[in-house]
Amino acid sequence: MTQRAIIVGASSGIGREVALLLLAEGWHLGIAARREEPLLALQREAPERVHVKTIDVTQPDADIRLLSLIEDVGGMDLYFHASGIGRQNRTLEPAIELSTVETNALGFTRMVGAAYRYFSEQGRGHLAAITSIAGTKGLGPAPAYSATKALQANYLQALEQQARQRGLPIDFTDIRPGFVDTALLNDHFPYPMMMRPEAVARDIVKSIHRRRHVRIIDIRYRILTALWRMVPGWVWRRMKL
Q: Which domain holds residue 152?
A: 4-236
Helix (H, G, I), strand (E, B) or coil at 50: strand
Confirm whether 241 is domain-assigned: no
pLDDT of residue 198: 92
Helix (H, G, I), strand (E, B) or coil at 108: helix
DSSP string, 121-178: HHT-EEEEEE--GGGSS--TTSHHHHHHHHHHHHHHHHHHHHHHHHT--EEEEEEEE-
Confirm whether 33 is domain-assigned: yes
How many domains does the chain divide into?
A: 1
Average model confidence (pLDDT) across the chain? 94
Cα–Cα dist 216/112, whole Å = 20
Confirm whether 122 is domain-assigned: yes
Predicted TM-score (pTM) of the model is: 0.94
Cα–Cα dist 5/113, whole Å = 16
Could you report the per-residue pLDDT of 20-70, keeping only the tens digit for each?
999 999 999 999 999 999 999 999 999 999 999 999 999 999 999 999 999
Confirm whether 145 is domain-assigned: yes
Confirm whether 68 is domain-assigned: yes
CATH number of the domain to which 125 belongs: 3.40.50.720
Biggest CA pair distance of the chain: 57
